[in-house]
Amino acid sequence: MRLKAILNAISVACSIMLAVGAQQAHAQVAPAARVGGIPITFGVGLSDYNLDYGPGRRMQGPVAWAAVDIFHGFGIDASARSIFINTPLDLTRMQQSTFLGGVYYERPHFWIIKPFVRAAGGLGVIEFPSRNPAYTRDSYSVWAPSGGLDFQVSQHVAVRTQYEYQFWQNFQSRNYLTPQGVTLGVSYSLLRTHVRPHELN
What CATH number is given for 2-24+38-199 in this structure?
A: 2.40.160.20
**183: exposed, middle or buried (C-beta count within 10 Å: 0-12, 13-18, 19+)?**
buried
- Asked whether residue 27 carries a pLDDT value surpassing 50, the answer given is no
Q: How far apart are CA 166 and CA 178, in angstroms?
A: 5
DSSP, residue by residue, 46-68: EEEEE-SSSSS-EEEEEEEEEEE
What's the pLDDT band for 55 if we cut at 50, 70, 90?
confident
Bridge partner residues of 163 (DSSP): 147, 182
Q: Are 13 and 66 in contact (CB under 8 A)?
A: yes
CA–CA gap between residue 63 and residue 43 (Å, rounded): 8
Q: Give pLDDT, residue 38.
A: 66
Distances (CA, A) of 42 to 68, 132, 167: 9, 40, 25
d(CA 88, CA 86): 6
Domain positions in the chain:
2-24+38-199
User: Are the C-beta atoms of residues 153 and 185 closer than 8 Å to each other?
Assistant: no
The pLDDT tens digits of the residues spanning 137-188 come to 999 999 999 999 999 999 899 999 999 999 999 888 777 899 999 999 999 9
pLDDT at residue 110, rounded to an integer: 81
User: Could you tell me if 160 and 43 are in contact, meaning their C-beta atoms sit under 8 angstroms apart?
Assistant: yes
Given a cut of 80, whether residue 8 has pLDDT beyond it is no
